[in-house]
């Protein structure tokens, strides 16, 4: 069910929410958190769909805030809203706020009256994010602040900016997408022979900040000489391509040549195919919502690990260094 509230206020929205709960039996008592999504209008539905899917694991109230301070006519201040419950909201209740003109200037005031009482707040910017998320109006009210470097015009430069602006509680989907890669590499190195890794090489596409973070994490954990090579977008290929770990007895290779499947090669062992699918927006969001305390490892990697990497090499599709 979708309830339209044109030219409204947060007070009126709260009253309608109470009325919906009383008439339809929908209650907020089972909600475990409030997720605030700050996005452009053209990104609303994709973010809502991911939040609805994630809500089946984390029942929550979702507040989607779309602000366009310069879109309305001069002197016009307007707030339009939608309330979605039931089949249109998964296991959550979704409040969509579209603020125009002067009404869009104070983001914190727009959402404060709609937050669940005594529940954690998570703010997510699916697209562009503030200069310093932790110091932004929506960031200050949140225990966890989620960005996505891969959606920025220059993902690699976005990582450097995240390193400078990092505050405890910040998170980024570029790191969340590494979970399966990190688990597989840890499992491989937990098997004999227990030899030190002397060289590390990580390859991926130039639009993949996850490739750079994986190289930084390996450099921190293994203390080995690390090379991070970023290549062009040949044949539409994106993301991490491969990891090569050099040891005295040979090189361990984990290479994803086929979407969703990586090939594992180890000296003296049969070749294995390993499932390594690209994580969806829903998977990343649900993963971040499982823990709302600061991710200390991500903080170390983004603030210290990136500095351990030598200058990242960029090569074109024919392998020529740019």
SS (H, E, C) 76-94: CEEEEEEEECHHHCCCCEE
pLDDT for position 311 = 73
pLDDT category, 102, cuts 50, 70, 90?
confident
Assess whether pLDDT exceeds 90 at residue 313.
Answer: no
* Residue 312 contacts residue 229 (beta carbons within 8 Å): yes
Report the alpha-carbon angle 76-80-81, nearest 5: 160
Report how far residue 227's alpha carbon sits from residue 310's, in angstroms, rounded to the nearest whole number.
7
Terminal C-alpha separation, the chain: 53
Is the preceding omega at residue 214 within 30 degrees of 0, hence cis?
A: no
- Report pLDDT digits (tens) over 126-176: 999 999 999 999 999 999 999 999 999 999 999 999 999 999 999 999 999
Instruction: Please write the tens of the pLDDT for every residue from 282-312.
Output: 999 999 999 899 999 999 999 999 999 987 6
CA-CA distance, 213 to 222, in Å (whole number)? Answer: 14
Specify burial of residue 306 (Cβ count, 10 A radius: 0-12, 13-18, 19+). Answer: buried
32-41 confidence digits (pLDDT tens): 899 999 998 8
Residue 221 half-sphere exposure toward CB, CA atoms < 13 A = 15
Output DSSP code: residue 129. -
Mapped onto helix, strand or coil, the DSSP state of residue 61 is: strand
- Tokens matching residue 24: 């339809």
Over residues 180-210, the pLDDT tens digits come to 999 999 999 999 889 999 999 999 999 999 9
Average pLDDT score over residue span 117-121: 94
**Tokens coding 66:** 């779309």
CA 9 → CA 2, 41, 104, 201, 302, distances in Å? 17, 19, 12, 54, 40
Whether pTM > 0.85 for this model: the answer is yes
Closest CA to 183 of 228, 214, 155, 152: 214
Q: What percent of the chain has pLDDT over 90?
A: 73
Confidence of residue 94 (pLDDT cuts 50, 70, 90): very high
- pLDDT value for 123: 98
Mean pLDDT score across all residues of the chain: 90
Q: Rounded CA gap, 39 and 125, in Å?
A: 6
Gap between the Cα atoms of 156 and 141, Å rounded: 28
**Span 228-254, mean pLDDT?**
85
The candidate with the shortest Cα–Cα distance to 57, out of 32, 82, 74, is 32
């Amino acid at each position: 069910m979708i309830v339209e509230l044109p030219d409204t206020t947060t007070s009126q929205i709260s009253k309608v929410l109470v009325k919906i709960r009383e008439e339809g039996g929908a209650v907020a008592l089972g909600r475990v958190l409030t997720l605030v999504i700050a996005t452009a209008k053209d990104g609303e539905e994709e973010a809502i769909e991911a939040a609805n899917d994630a809500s089946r694991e984390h029942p929550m109230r979702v507040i989607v805030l779309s602000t366009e301070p310069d879109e309305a006519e001069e002197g016009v201040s307007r707030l339009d809203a939608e309330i979605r419950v039931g089949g249109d909201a998964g296991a959550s209740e979704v409040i969509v706020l579209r603020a125009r003109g002067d009404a869009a200037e104070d983001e914190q005031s727009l959402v404060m009256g709609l937050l669940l009482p005594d529940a954690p707040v998570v703010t997510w910017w699916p697209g562009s994010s503030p200069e310093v998320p932790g110091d932004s109006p929506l960031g200050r009210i949140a225990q966890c602040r989620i960005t996505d470097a891969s959606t920025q015009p220059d993902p690699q430069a976005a990582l450097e900016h995240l390193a400078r602006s990092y505050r405890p509680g910040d998170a980024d989907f570029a790191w969340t997408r590494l979970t399966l890669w990190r688990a597989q590499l840890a499992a491989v190195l937990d098997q004999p022979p227990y030899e030190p890794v002397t060289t590390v090489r990580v390859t991926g596409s130039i639009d993949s900040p996850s490739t750079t973070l994986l190289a930084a994490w390996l450099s921190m954990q293994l203390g080995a000489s690390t090379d991070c090579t970023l290549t062009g977008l040949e044949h539409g290929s994106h993301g991490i391509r491969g990891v090569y770990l050099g040891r005295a007895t040979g090189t361990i290779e984990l290479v994803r040549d086929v979407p969703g499947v990586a090939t594992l090669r180890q000296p003296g062992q049969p070749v294995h195919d390993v499932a390594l699918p690209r994580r969806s927006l829903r998977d990343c969001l649900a993963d971040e919502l499982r823990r709302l305390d600061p991710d200390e490892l991500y903080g170390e990697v983004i603030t210290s690990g990136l500095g351990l990497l030598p200058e990242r090499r960029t090569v074109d599709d024919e392998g020529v260094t740019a």
